[in-house]
């Protein structure tokens, strides 16, 4: 049934893939000097500049200012040219270099079709269908990962940039697979230990951690209840020595018992940059008041 219906629906598959690939692997931007008729050679911008231009594209702006190697450029994406705001700098031509992930679109479609089903709302920007509910659990069962207790599941969701907890929309799933460069279940399963290790070792922790807060929120709400936050910390920061002390303290003393984004991000900083004896805590005076209070309490307790 899925297949018969799918043939029509998956007609847009290639377009979906192109768009998802661009999210998974943002295009790099290249430039060449355009002076005195000499064509010059194309050279890539550094990563930060590429990011800035991509941000312009994402925001749908045609023009914007970007600083390239110290000089400020007015980038015009319609004419594909970067005009210096300083009139003596050389004008430069622009070129987008789209990166293609090493995946087979067809194989990927087969992988997706196995788990996909129609989901509401149909006009979701991630696509009219996706992996959710039982199918979602089935996927993770095939990946040999427990989505409730294994941080690899969060890492995968982060790679997919999934907007909702427990759901991979079509483009989100393609995006995740493209980022990981896998197109079948065995390869995807093989990536799981790496995803897990990258989070635990801290390599991909900042992205996954930041992503988690966004996906954990119920949309209009901007605060994450403390109890939920504590569960995520257990997943994401299993090695933080003060985690349990902090959660205990927060449960008893914190006003509101909810975490805002700023506090969430600062707790990552606390967990990764401050040792268990809190010796360098005072180097940053800008810690949120909640953390100040906790540290004061904790120091009093431990006699630090």
Partner 1 sequence: MSSLGAKKPGIRQFRSGDPMDEKESNRTWECLRHAIHQIHQHNASSLSFEELYRNAYNLVLHKYGELLYNGVQGVVAEHLKVVAQSCIECPDDRLLDELKKQWDDHKTTMVMIRDILMYMDRNFVTQYKKVPVYEMGLMIFRDKVSGHPRVKTHLLTLLLDNISAERRGEQVDRILLKHTTNMLVELGVQGKNVYRECFEDQFLDATRKFYQDESKQYISQNPCSDYLRKAEKRIREEKARVENYLHESTMEKIQELCDEEWISVHYKTLIHMENSGCAWMFQCDKIADLERMYLLFSRVPVTLKEVQKVMMDCMCEAGRDVLNDPEKVKDPVSFITAILSLKYKYDRFVKESFKESKDFQLALKQAFESFLNKDTRTAQYLSLYVDDQFRKGLKGMSSDADVDTALEQVVTVFRFLQDKDVFENFYKQHLSKRLLTGRSVSDEAERSMISKLKSECGHQYTSKLEGMFQDMKLSEDIMKQYKNSFASPSLSRGSRAGPGVGSAVSSASSSIDMKVSVLTSGFWPGSPMNPCTLPPEVQECISRFETFYLAKHTGRKLTWQPQYGAADLKAQMPKTKHELSVSTYQMCILMLFNQQPTWTYQDIRLRTNIPVEPVDELKRHLQSLYVNPKAKILVKLGDGEKKEPEENDQFMVNPQFESKLLRIKVPLVLSKNTESATGAPQGADGPSDVPATVEEDRKHLVEAVVVRVMKSRKTLEHNQLVMEVTRHLTARFQPSPTLIKQRIEKLIEREYLERSQADRRVYNYLA
Residue number, 218 or 262, with CB nearest to partner 1: 262
At residue 81, φ and ψ (nearest 5 deg) are -145, 145
Q: How far is the CB of 289 from partner 1 (least distance, A)?
A: 5
Nearest approach in angstroms of CB 255 to partner 1 is 10
Instruction: Name the residue with tokens 């290790």.
Output: 197
Contact, 39 vs 20, CB < 8 A? no
Which string of b and e fits 41-54 if b means at least 16 CB within 10 Å?
eeeebeeebbebbb
Min separation Cβ 252 and partner 1, Å: 20
Helix (H) or strand (E) holding 182: none
Count Cβ neighbours within 10 Å for each residue of 108-142 and write b for 16 or more, e otherwise: bbebbbebbeebeeeebebbbbbbbeebbbebbee
Cis peptide before 121 (omega within 30 of 0): yes
Q: CA 158 to CA 13: how far, in whole Å? A: 22
Q: Are 37 and 48 in contact (CB under 8 A)?
A: no
Work out how close the CB of 254 gets to partner 1 at its nearest, in angstroms, rounded to a whole number.
13
Cα dihedral sign, 123-208-16-81: positive
Nearer to partner 1, 121 or 285 (CB): 285
Whole-number minimum distance, CB 267 to partner 1, in Å? 12
Nearest CA to 103 out of 40, 50, 175 is that of 175
Residue 77 CB, shortest distance to partner 1, in Å, is 22
Helix (H) / strand (E) containing 234: helix 226-236
Q: How far is the CB of 272 from partner 1 (least distance, A)?
A: 12
Between 223 and 234, whose beta carbon lies closer to partner 1? 223
Residues near partner 1 (CB under 8 A) are 222, 260-263, 265-266, 269, 284-286, 288-289, 292
Question: Which structure tokens are listed for 189?
Answer: 């399963």
142 vs 292, which CB is nearer to partner 1?
292
Query: CB-wise, 252 or 255, nearer to partner 1?
Result: 255
Q: Which CB, 60 or 285, lies closer to partner 1?
A: 285
Of 234 and 265, CB closest to partner 1:
265
């Amino acid at each position: 049934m899925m297949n018969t219906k799918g043939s029509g629906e998956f007609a847009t598959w290639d377009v979906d893939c192109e768009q998802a690939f661009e999210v998974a692997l943002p295009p790099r931007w290249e430039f060449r000097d355009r002076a005195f008729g000499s064509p010059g050679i194309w050279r890539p911008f550094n990563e930060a500049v590429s990011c800035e231009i991509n941000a312009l594209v994402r925001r749908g702006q045609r023009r914007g200012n970007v600083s390239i190697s110290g000089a400020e450029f007015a980038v015009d994406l319609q004419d594909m040219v970067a005009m210096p705001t300083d009139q003596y700098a050389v004008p430069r031509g622009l070129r987008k270099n789209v990166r293609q992930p090493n995946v087979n679109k067809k194989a990927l479609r087969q992988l997706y079709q196995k788990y996909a089903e129609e989901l509401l709302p149909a006009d979701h920007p991630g696509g009219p269908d996706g992996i959710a509910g039982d199918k979602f659990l089935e996927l993770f069962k095939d990946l040999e990962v427990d989505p409730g207790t294994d941080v690899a599941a969060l890492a995968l969701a982060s790679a997919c940039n999934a907007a909702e907890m427990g759901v991979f929309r079509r483009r989100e799933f393609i995006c995740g697979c493209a980022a990981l460069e896998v197109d079948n279940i065995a390869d995807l399963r093989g990536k799981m230990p790496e995803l897990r290790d990258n989070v635990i070792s801290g390599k991909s922790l900042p992205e996954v951690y930041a992503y988690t807060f966004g996906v954990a929120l119920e949309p209009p709400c901007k605060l994450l209840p403390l109890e939920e936050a504590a569960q995520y910390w257990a997943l994401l920061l299993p090695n933080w020595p003060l985690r349990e002390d902090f959660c205990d303290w927060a449960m008893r003393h914190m006003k509101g018992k909810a975490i805002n984004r700023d506090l969430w991000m600062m707790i990552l900083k606390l967990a990764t940059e401050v040792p268990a004896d809190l010796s360098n805590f005072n180097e940053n005076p800008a810690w949120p008041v909640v953390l100040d209070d906790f540290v004061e309490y904790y120091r009093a307790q431990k006699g630090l």
